[in-house]
Structure 1
Amino acid sequence: MADSDFLRQLAGYGLTTATILYRMPDHPAVLQSYIWQQYDLAPRFPLLHGFLDFWKRELDGPLHSVTIAHSRLIRPAEFVNVNGVLTLH
């Protein structure tokens, strides 16, 4: 049987990493970071939104910011080798 993460990749999911900054409940001036990583669908990110909804509903540390990295958002330049010459006058 295939791994569930592999099956998600076949369905179009990609590895998503979110850096979540939140304020400490007892010390609101202090920011703490949390790294969340899961296979999710870009650009809507339904699993990440579900996690953030859970965070807002169940946890005391209010969110400050969320930074998302995903292979469809950030990708190295792709070069295609072309055989031929094009001359413009």
Structure 2
Amino acid sequence: MAGNETELMLRGYGLTTAEFYYHMPDYAHVLNSFIWQDYDIAPDHPRLFKFIDFWQKEIEGPLHSVRFTHRREIGPGHWRNVTGEIPLH
């Protein structure tokens, strides 16, 4: 993924924030959390699922659950047709 943040947003990327809950390797009954953010494309979220695959293959703490949200920062502009103006004093 090349380009700065503005270019990514113009190409349809939005900020995805995910909170991973995972078990500590040495303490199976303890849940810990990890926050991850990256620019991704909804609804498929390829970067998020690539990171989840990486976690499951490379990190010892098994995942309990993942919560995520996606916000597209730049969207189509809102346009209104103004037919009149009322001046106040």
TM range (shorter): 0.7 to 0.9
Unaligned runs of 5+ in 1: 73-79, 81-89
2:19 corresponding residue in structure 1? 19
Q: Percent identity?
A: 52
3-state SS of 1:9 partner: helix
Offset from partner CA, 1:17-49 (integer Å, 9 cap, x none): 001000000001000000000110111100000
Distance in 2 of aligned mates of 1:50 and 1:5 = 20
User: What displacement does 1:62 show?
Assistant: 0.3
Counterparts of 1:12-51 in structure 2 under 5 Å?
A: 12-51=12-51
Distance in 1 of aligned mates of 2:71 and 2:5 = 15
User: What displacement does 1:69 show?
Assistant: 0.9
The TM-score normalised by the length of structure 2 is 0.75
AA at the equivalent of 1:68 = F
User: What displacement does 1:5 show?
Assistant: 1.4
User: What displacement does 1:71 show?
Assistant: 2.0
Q: CA RMSD in A?
A: 1.7
User: What displacement does 1:6 show?
Assistant: 1.2
Q: Number of residues paired by the alignment?
A: 72
After superposing on structure 2, the runs of 4+ consecutive aligned residues of structure 1 that deviate more than 6 Å are none
AA at the equivalent of 2:53 = D
Unaligned runs of 5+ in 2: 73-79, 81-89
AA at the equivalent of 1:40 = D
